[in-house]
Amino acid sequence: MEGNGKFKESCDFCLIGSDRETYTDVIKKDDELVCFRDICPAAPHHYLVIPRHHIVSCFSLSEQHVGLVKRMEDMARAVLHEHGITDMKDIR
């Protein structure tokens, strides 16, 4: 499936998104997104939310991805809320 935009074997994030990778602490997932703890956290609640399909880089995003990015943000906020973070002023 490599190179078709859906899944790329050489991409660590694709491996996490496909449920093949086992060393990551997955916090929440659905059919489209996966949230997991950063392997080198810079904060106590350092999580990453990724789409299950391959995106080359943030520079490859376009207007068609606005909904996806909003859903990623919604999942991130939900995970923070579930972990007791209610002040959303100091999040990134």
Give me the residue spans of the domains in the chain. Answer: 12-87
pLDDT at 7: 65
pTM: 0.84
Nearest to 72 by CA among 92, 89, 90: 92
How many Cα atoms sit within 13 Å of 47 on the Cβ side?
26
What is the average pLDDT across 18-37?
88
Token pair in block for residue 31: 């059919």
Q: How far apart are CA 20 and CA 45, in angstroms?
A: 24
Give the sheet arrangement for strand 47-51, strand by strand.
26-29, 33-37, 47-51
Q: Tell me: the pLDDT tens digits for 35-67?
A: 999 989 898 889 999 999 999 989 999 999 999
Q: Which residue has the higher pLDDT, 23 or 46?
A: 46
* R_g (Cα) of the chain, nearest Å: 14
Tokens 């996806």 correspond to 68
Instruction: Determine the topology of domain 12-87 in CATH.
Output: HIT family, subunit A (3.30.428)
